[in-house]
Amino acid sequence: MRERLKNPEIAGTRTGYVIRFTCPACMNENIIISKIPRDHFKERRDASCRYCRKRSTVLTPAMIARTDTGTVPVGRPEPSS
């Protein structure tokens, strides 16, 4: 059985230059560190799980609104189930 599946799209959370996402296959948390500013602004990127090598498309919302106070309330857009 040969299927051509698109990579699942999963939501990631961005903290500074670090993007975290949870692998949908093995539920491990992965971390992406974007070293290239241009790459950092992308809203989606392909990533593969470092544990099971499952490939996913990680979605990160546009840059979280900057605050001059330094406190950025980052919500955790994770599904509850």
57 bridge partner residues: 9, 46
| Cα–Cα distance measured from residue 54 to residue 27, given in angstroms and rounded to the nearest whole number | 11
Residue 25 interacting with Zn ion (CB under 5 A): yes
In a 10 Å sphere around its CB, with 0-12 CB exposed, 13-18 middle and 19+ buried, how is residue 15 labelled?
Answer: exposed
Of the candidate residues 49, 56, 58, 60, the single one contacting Zn ion (CB under 5 A): 49
**Residue 13 in contact with residue 77, Cβ under 8 Å?**
yes
Considering only 5-13, 15-23, 40-48, 62-70, which stretch makes contact with Zn ion by CB under 5 A? 15-23
Least distance to Zn ion, CB of residue 58, Å? 12
Residue of 26, 31, 63, 74 that binds Zn ion (CB under 5 A): 26
Among 14, 19, 21, 23, binds Zn ion (CB under 5 A): 23
